[in-house]
């Protein structure tokens, strides 16, 4: 059985990613000379001010950096990413006009009311 292939490069090398923003600063030495213009040196190294992580995760092909939401993968109508892994949602029901949200829920496969 073959895995899920990238629609762009036809390889099976997927990864989940999250974005993190890091704000850093470096002080400028403006006191050391009487001259107000010209080149000023830094005081010390870069310091981290803030690191924020977005709650949005995505999936991309690590071979060609193609990002997907799962709609363009063969046999798949979407993906759901959580802490335990990635669920590839089959497009089987869409072929018959039934939406996935109507059947998602109970582990025993019963329809949610």
Rounded CA-CA distance 38/50 in Å is 30
- Greatest Cα-to-Cα distance within the chain, rounded to the nearest angstrom: 78
Residue 66, CA distances (Å) to 14, 20, 21 in order: 9, 19, 21
DSSP assignment letter at 81: E
User: What pLDDT is attached to residue 1?
Assistant: 33
Tokens 């193609």 correspond to 66
> E strands of the chain, at which residues?
14-28, 42-61, 67-68, 76-81, 86-90
End-to-end CA distance of the chain: 36
pLDDT tens digits in sequence order for the chain, 113 residues long: 367 888 889 888 899 988 889 999 999 988 877 777 788 888 899 999 999 988 788 899 999 988 888 888 888 888 888 888 888 888 776 666 665 556 555 555 555 54
Rounded CA-CA distance 96/102 in Å is 13
Rounded CA-CA distance 98/113 in Å is 15
């Amino acid at each position: 059985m073959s895995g899920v292939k990238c629609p762009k490069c036809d390889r099976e090398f997927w990864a989940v990613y999250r974005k993190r923003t890091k704000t850093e600063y470096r002080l400028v030495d403006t006191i050391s000379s009487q001259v107000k213009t010209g080149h000023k040196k830094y005081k010390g190294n870069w310091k981290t001010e803030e690191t924020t992580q977005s709650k949005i995760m995505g999936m991309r092909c690590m071979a060609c950096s193609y990002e997907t939401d799962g709609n363009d993968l063969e046999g798949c109508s979407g993906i759901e990413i959580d802490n335990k892994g990635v669920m590839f949602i089959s497009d089987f029901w869409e072929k018959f006009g039934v939406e996935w949200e109507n059947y998602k829920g109970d582990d025993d496969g019963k329809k949610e009311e």
